[in-house]
Amino acid sequence: MAEDRSDRYPALVQAAAEDAAKLERIYRQAVASGEEAAFRRAVAAALQGGRRTPVLVAWGYRLDLLPLPAPAETARLENQPAEPPRPWGIALAISLGLGLLWTLMAGDRPPVPSPDAARPLFWIGWPPATGLAILAYLALAGQPGIQERRWLLTAAVLVALVALAGGFAWNRTDDVAVLTALHLPLATLLALGLGVTAPADRPGAQWFPLLLKYAEVLLTAGVYVLAATFLGVLTTGIFQVLAVEIPPEVVQRGAALVWGTVPVLAVASVYDARALPAHQDLTQGPLRLLRLFARLSLPAVAGVLAVYLIGFLPQHFWRGFEDRSLLIVYNLTIVTILGLMALAVPAAGEAAPGSPWLRRGVVLTAALTLLLNAYALAAALSRVWNFGLTPNRHAVAGWNIVTLALLAGILYSQRRATDRDWPGRFAAALVRFLPLVAAWVVWVLVASPLIW
């Protein structure tokens, strides 16, 4: 009796849902094997399960699985533009306003988020001011008349951040000021996230795609800043050749003006203000490159971690307890790996190639990072015990506890996961611990200035 292989078609159809040529080859093989009915059932199951890629929808019409639109509806869709143009006029106007605001806040000091170098008005004010500008763009460029109160509430939170940080850390340049400068952007991103996800029926389902969009916006902003810096250096070089010296104050104000226009332009470039985060395109643009890089680098990251934890750490076990700079490297490594894992995980509806192997790589990397995190936490607590509690040790030890809980939650979520639902379980575990992240950010901003 010939072997029945018809049960393989659902997986094949899901994997080729966005590849017209591959799905055509699968169909021809099914016809040649006398399994055309199994192919038809697999396409129908994919469509009923919510997978509505253009390729699958076309096959749904071809196999009479979907009703054809009425002629009038077809004509309307053909005459309708595929995507409304982005409101670049709004984005440019708000960007220019933010650039001018950065220039005023920076004054005669460099526009850098450093308490030692910048004016307090700038290093305290730039994150909430940028958040308010992005909020204004989302409110004006999005769907009109949708819950304006949430925008006002988010704006009030951002203004409160300025008052809070300004009241606690104004004119300080010590470790408390540095911690405030590091945590204010995180607090701004969390406040923006609350405003963006509030209209959804299930706000928790919006946070993971929003985090991915945050990464894409940061990459886009980085490219814009590099391009603007290159043009600035080139312009300065041309004037130097002509023996024209540009005063440093002009260079600093020009940098503040140009760099201040970048955040809103980056958001407008990659984020559709008319759609919720879960409805954003997570498969194209800079985010696609980021996710491809994350998936390609994950095996190397896991290999380096394994070699370090097995081969090097036992021989130099006490260095982390003695060397503060090594602990900083550990914590930066942990945060970076968490970001890489989140970028590597397939988004909802995305069929990532080699998904079972990708899952194994994510789980292995999370387990190794958990071991490194446990070691870093032990070293941080040891330094607190031996040398006393300082603002930096307080913040680092707390972040070690937060990331340790997050990694443990991710690993626990994968215990009963299957190859089909593991990305959703990963995303849910990550989002579940975001309130803990937010609580620690607020605690550092409030408690550090009060205690020290």
Q: How far apart are CA 320 and CA 75, in angstroms?
A: 68
Whether residue 73 sits in one domain with residue 100: no
CA-CA distances (angstroms) from residue 107 to 159, 250, 356? 21, 10, 54
Would the pLDDT of 231 be above 60?
A: yes
Please state, in angstroms and as integers, the Cα–Cα distance from residue 440 to each residue in 21, 190, 364, 437, 447, following that order: 50, 12, 27, 5, 10
79, 113, 139 — which closes off a domain?
79
Inside any domain, residue 255: yes
What percent of the chain has pLDDT above 90? 29
Task: Name the band, by pLDDT with cuts 50, 70 and 90, for residue 353.
Answer: low
Instruction: Tell me what pLDDT residue 24 has.
Output: 83
- Domain co-membership, 360 together with 290: yes
Per the structure, the count of domains in the chain is: 3
Matching residue, tokens 């704006």: 155
If one compares 42 and 91, the residue with the highest pLDDT of the two is 91
Cα separation values, 331 from 119, 391, 400, 405, Å: 28, 16, 7, 14
Same domain, 197 and 340: no
Residue 369 buriedness (CB in 10 A; 0-12 / 13-18 / 19+): buried
Interval 156-207: pLDDT, tens = 888 887 788 778 888 888 888 889 889 999 989 998 888 888 766 677 778 8
Residue after which a domain boundary falls, among 39, 60, 79: 79
The answer to whether residue 1 sits within a structural domain is: no
Task: Give the whole-angstrom CA distance, residue 259 versus residue 251.
Answer: 12
pLDDT at site 262: 93
pLDDT averaged over every residue in the chain: 83
Q: Is the pLDDT of residue 291 over 80?
A: yes
Amino acid sitting at position 270: V
Asked if the structure places residue 254 within a domain, the reply is yes
- What is the model's pLDDT at position 1? 40
Decide if 437 is inside a domain: yes
Domain that holds residue 27: 6-79
* Gap between the Cα atoms of 210 and 354, Å rounded: 25
> C-alpha 302: how far from its chain's center?
21
| Residue 51 confidence (pLDDT) | 65
